[in-house]
């Protein structure tokens, strides 16, 4: 039984994406003001985000890496990619990846 709702899953991924975008902006602004490399701020945020993605991956037993693919390959670069399961094409959205992972989890 999954304890994470689709709404919570989707909002978590969107919040993580927003956190990275805000950190990126802050890092760029700090670099302009302070000069030099301020990427440490972004790296700290990314470490937190990586841990959250890891938690979701474990919760859904996502051995195929769909959650990570969705987040880094679709959401961070703002591109909706497609994926195929059993010759059926799906958009790479949080909702579709949730359904995919939930169904795979229930199959095990």
pLDDT digits (tens, 9 = 90+) for 4-25: 999 999 999 999 999 888 888 8
**Is residue 9 within 8 Å of residue 98, measured between CB atoms?**
yes
Q: Which helix (H) or strand (E) holds 84?
A: strand 82-85
Asked if pLDDT for residue 1 goes beyond 60, the answer is no
Mean pLDDT of the chain: 85
Q: Name, in order, each residue with C-beta under 8 angstroms of 5's C-beta and a sequence gap of 6 or more.
A: none
According to the per-residue pLDDT averaged within each range, which of 48-52, 54-58, 73-77 is highest? Answer: 54-58
Quick check: 64 and 79 in contact, CB under 8 A?
Answer: no
Gyration radius of the chain's alpha carbons: 16
CA–CA distance, 86 with 75 (Å, rounded to integer): 24
Within 10 angstroms of residue 5's Cβ, the number of other Cβ atoms is 10
């Amino acid at each position: 039984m999954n304890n994470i709702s689709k709404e919570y899953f989707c909002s978590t991924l969107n919040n993580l994406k927003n956190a990275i975008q805000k950190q990126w902006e802050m890092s760029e602004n700090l670099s302009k003001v302070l000069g030099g490399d301020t990427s440490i701020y972004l790296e700290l945020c990314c470490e937190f985000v990586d841990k959250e993605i890891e938690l979701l991956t474990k919760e859904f037993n996502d051995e195929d890496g769909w959650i990570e693919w969705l987040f880094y390959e679709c959401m961070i670069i703002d591109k909706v990619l497609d994926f195929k399961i059993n010759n059926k094409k799906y958009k790479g959205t949080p909702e579709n990846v949730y359904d995919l992972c939930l169904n795979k989890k229930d199959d095990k």
